[in-house]
A and B are shown apart, each in its own frame.
Chain A
Amino acid sequence: MSSDVTPMAAPTGALAKPDPDACAGVVELVTEYLEGALDAAVRARFEAHLADCDGCDIYLEQMRATIAAAGHVDVERVAPATLDGLIAAYRSARGA
C-alpha cells in the first residue's frame, strides 16, 4: 500500500466537483444524488440534465437496478459447527 495520496482520477480532478450538466459528471454524482447529499442547486441541475438525456436516465435506472439486485446476493453463512460451538459457550456463560 502506497502512502502517497493518489488523486482521484475523476474527469474533473480530485477537488473540483463533477459537473451536473455533463454526462461524465452525472455518473460521478449519482450516489450523492441517491443519498440525498446534493445541495439544492446542484440537485436541480442534475435533475434537469436527466430529464433531457436518455443516456443518463438509463444510467440512473441501471444504478438503481444494481442496488436492488445486490439485495438478493447470497450472504456468507455461519458454519453450523461454529454456530453450535458459540451457542454452547453462550449457554455456559449466560444460560440458566
Chain B
Amino acid sequence: MASGEPGVTSRYAAAVAATQDAAFQPTPDDVALVAALRDGDERAFATIVAQLHGPLLRLARLYVPTSAAAEEVVQETWLGVFRGLDRFEARATFRTWVFRIATNRAMTRGRRERRDIPLSALLDPTEGPGGPAVDLERFLAPGEQWAGHWAVPPERWAPDAATHLLAKETRALIAAALESLAPAQRIVMTLRDVEGWSTDEVCAALEITAGNQRVLLHRARSRVRAALEQHLATAGPA
C-alpha cells in the first residue's frame, strides 16, 4: 500500500497513484472479461484484440520509428497479455494494464532501434507544434480598444452541419487532421474522443498527469476544429 506523503510524492506519482490505488474498483465488465480470458474464451480474446489493436499501434508509434515495428510490438504485447493474465491484479482497468505492457515493450524496442530520445519527452506537452488554438490575427491586436476580442469570429456552422460532420468525406478529413498531429497529441485525442476513454483512464494508461493530458488534448482538438472550420467554410451547405 504505497500512499505517498503529500509534499514528498511528486504530482506525477500522485496522478498515477490516484488511478491505481487500493481503492480502485474493477468494473463488472472487466472482472467478467478477465475471467473469460483466463478460461481460454477465444471470442472474448478476439473482441478485446479488435477493440485495442488500433489504439495500441498508435501508442507503439510514439516509441518506434516504423509501422512494421509498431505492429510487431503490438503482437508481442498480446502474447505478453495472455501469458501474464494470471498475474493481472485488477489495480487498474484491464485495458490500462494492456497499455502499460505495450509501453514497456515499445520503449525497449525503441531504445534498440534508434538513438536515445529522452523518454520523458515523448509525452511532454511542450513537444510538437504548440501555438495558439486560433490564429492570433483573428483577434484585435493589443493596444486597440477591445484587444483580444474577435476581429474575425467563427461563423455558426449550418444547421445541417451535424449531418455534414458525419459524412464520409468529413470523417476522412478528421482522420487526416489526426494523422497530422504530433504523436503525443494524436494518441490522447484518439483515446479520449475517438475511443471514448475517460480522462483518468488515459492518464493511467499513458502515465501522464491530468494537466499534461489536457494540454495535449487541447492542442489536438483546437487543430482538428480549425481543419473542420476550413473544410465546412469551403464545402458550403450540403
* Residues of chain A at the chain B interface (Cβ within 8 Å): 1, 3, 5-6, 8-11, 19, 22-25, 27-28, 30-32, 35, 37, 53-56, 58-59, 61-63, 65-78, 82-83, 85-87, 89-91, 93-96
Contact = CB atoms under 8 A, between A and B. Distances in A.
A77 B54 contact: yes
Given A35-B199, A63-B221, A94-B40, A74 B175 contact: yes
A68 B163 CA distance: 12
Nearest 4 interchain pairs by C-beta: A55-B153, A22-B148, A76-B54, A31-B218
Given A11-B139, A32-B214, A62-B157, A74 B171 contact: yes
Contacts of B157: 61-62, 65
Given A6-B130, A23-B153, A75-B194, 18 more contacts: A3-B121, A9-B130, A22-B139, A23-B139, A23-B149, A24-B149, A27-B132, A53-B149, A55-B154, A58-B154, A66-B228, A69-B166, A73-B175, A73-B178, A75-B55, A90-B45, A91-B40, A94-B39
A23 B49 contact: no
B214 A61 contact: no
A95 B195 CA distance: 30
Interface of B: 37-40, 42, 45-46, 49-50, 53-55, 57-58, 71, 75, 78-79, 82-83, 85, 117-118, 121, 126-127, 130-134, 136, 139, 147-150, 153-157, 161-162, 165-166, 170-171, 174-175, 178, 189, 193-196, 199, 210, 214, 217-218, 221-222, 224-225, 228-229
Contacts of B139: 11, 22-24
Contacts of A27: 132-134, 222
Nearest to B150: A55
Contacts of B228: 62, 65-66, 69
User: Interface of chain B, helix or strand or loop or mixed?
Assistant: helix
Contact of A93 (B83, B221, B229): B83
B174 A69 contact: yes
Nearest to A10: B132
B224 A28 contact: no
Given A58-B154, A63-B225, A83 B194 contact: no
Contacts of A67: 193, 221
A3 B55 CA distance: 28
A32 B218 CA distance: 8
A34 to B, nearest CB: 9
A74 B155 CA distance: 27
Contacts of A69: 165-166, 170-171, 174, 228
